[in-house]
Amino acid sequence: MTNRKIKILIADDSLTVRNFLVKVFSLDPGIEVIGTAIDGQEAIEFVKKNRPDIITMDINMPRLDGFEATLKIMQENPIPIVIVSGDYNTTDTAKTFKALECGAVAILPRPVGVGNPDFDETVHRFVSNVKLLSEVKVIRRWNRIYNSSVTQENPNTIKDITQPIRIITLGASAGGPLVLQQILKNIPSNISVPILIVQHLDVEFAQGYADWLNIQSNIPIKIAKDGDILTAGVAYMAPGNHHIGVKAYNTILVSKDSKEKGHRPSVAFMFRSVREVFRNQVLAIILSGMGDDGAEELKLLKDKGAITIAQDFDSSLIHGMPGEAIRIGAASYILSPDQIIQFIKRNVSLSIK
């Protein structure tokens, strides 16, 4: 075990926010704030002379905003960058997700103020996520996102299937937003099945994330409501702080049942729900994420005869969820996002006659 502290740079133009985040990080003895920057340009200059383990970055800053600063740092000195947002206006949060395309590893809500009853809980969640994300290997990720030579599909890996697929389910956590965007913008617009999505997100970001996905997606992305009728060619995303599943072949279930694996929405809840209704006529996909949410339920789907896919190690920002699924034998296939897209195009869009 090492006692080395995690070194953090805070970039935010607000002195109040900078001081607040310094205070928040000082509560954890395993963290050291080694610098602060008032804009993106200062952050770039700091990184050239120092080597923080992770950067917390604001978006709206003078001289150079968080988008440009993130892009520049990831080009020159790749370091995990987390966008910290205190603005939950739907339009602004949708714009914030563009930072992922610049190379940021995640978007986190700023903890609530000291006098708020949720202060301790939000600080713990925030600090824990920052510590975990500080370990992300961003050089490998940067090359993967911006190298035009993408993973080539192996024709021996992707095989045609014969069973009908009546629904696709996608479950993801950290590292999932960009992969989901990649998959959804390449899915055929005439796909013949509905899609359910669980992406672990703080409740403030759910609608903004759906709006961001809709900008490039080939199919409409909709925040699900309880009782919605499942429609082919539409992707339904779990609303913030709610589970998503199905009640019957054509009806969506939205529930506020207890958290599972610490999550609501939970990938496990979704996978279990579709197994009960659609049995083996499911394509269930588990993508990048921390922890093991959904891994056991993916195995139960596979045992039922459903087709299951886990994202491969090389393309995953964090291989926790897909890695656990692979470890317990829950994956029929282990594929990159490009291969997942090809699998769907070859099998799902023609599966319902």
pLDDT at 192 over 80: yes
Helix axes 206-216, 176-184, angle to 10 degrees: 40
User: Residue type at 62?
Assistant: P
Write down the catalytic residue from 134, 173, 273, 288.
Answer: 173
Write down the catalytic residue from 12, 58, 293, 312.
Answer: 293
pLDDT at 96 over 90: no
Q: Is the dihedral of CA 325, 331, 336, 342 positive or negative?
A: negative
pLDDT at 204: 80
Pairing of strands 235-237, 221-223: parallel
Pick the CATH number of 6-145 from 3.40.50.720, 3.40.50.2300, 3.40.640.10, 3.60.20.10: 3.40.50.2300
Secondary structure of the chain in the HEC alphabet? CCCCCEEEEEECCCHHHHHHHHHHHHCCCCEEEEEEECCHHHHHHHHHHCCCCEEEECCCCCCCCHHHHHHHHHHHCCCCEEEEECCCCHHHHHHHCHHHHHCCCEEEECCCCCCCCCHHHHHHHHHHHHHHHCCCCHHHHHHHHHCCCCCCCCCCCCCCCCCCCCEEEEEECCCHHHHHHHHHCCCCCCCCCCEEEEECCCHHHHHHHHHHHHHHCCCCEEECCCCCECCCCCEEECCCCCEEEEEECCEEEEECCCCECCECCCHHHHHHHHHHHHCCCEEEEECCECCCCCHHHHHHHHHHCCEEEEECCCCCCCEHHHHHHHHCCCCCEEECHHHHHHHHHHHCCCCCC
pLDDT at 350 over 70: no
Give yes or no: 200 in active site: yes
pLDDT at 90: 58
Radius of gyration of the chain from its Cα atoms, rounded to whole angstroms = 20
Q: What are the structural domain ranges in the chain? A: 6-145, 167-347
Give yes or no: 257 in active site: no
pLDDT at 161 over 60: yes
Q: Which of 107-111, 158-162, 304-308 has the lowest mean pLDDT?
A: 158-162
pLDDT at 24: 97
Report whether the peptide linkage leading into residue 164 is cis, meaning its omega lies within 30 degrees of zero.
Answer: no
Give yes or no: 319 in active site: no
**Angle ∠(18,39,37) on CA atoms, nearest 5:** 45
The separation between the first and the last C-alpha atoms of the chain, rounded to the nearest angstrom, is 57
Write down the catalytic residue from 65, 134, 200, 332.
Answer: 200
Strand order in the sheet with 54-57: 31-37, 6-11, 54-57, 81-85, 106-109
Residue 310: Cβ-neighbour burial (10 angstroms; 0-12, 13-18, 19+): buried
pLDDT at 349: 67
Higher pLDDT, 336 or 351: 336
Residue 330's pLDDT band (cuts 50, 70, 90): very high
Mean pLDDT in residue range 29-56: 96
pLDDT at 108 over 70: yes
pLDDT at 145 over 80: no
Higher pLDDT, 189 or 21: 21
CA 71 vs CA 62, 79, 339: distances in Å: 16, 11, 27
pLDDT at 157 over 70: no
pLDDT at 329 over 70: yes
Pairing of strands 195-199, 333-335: unpaired
Pick the CATH number of 167-347 from 3.40.50.180, 3.90.1150.10, 3.40.50.2000, 3.40.50.300: 3.40.50.180
pLDDT at 352 over 70: no
pLDDT at 98: 84
Residue 95: Cβ-neighbour burial (10 angstroms; 0-12, 13-18, 19+): middle
Could you report the per-residue pLDDT of 165-180, keeping only the tens digit for each? Answer: 999 999 999 889 999 9
The answer to whether 41 and 72 are in contact (CB under 8 A) is no
CATH topology agreement for domains 6-145 and 167-347: yes
Higher pLDDT, 4 or 34: 34
What values do phi and psi take at 106, rounded to 5?
-165, 165
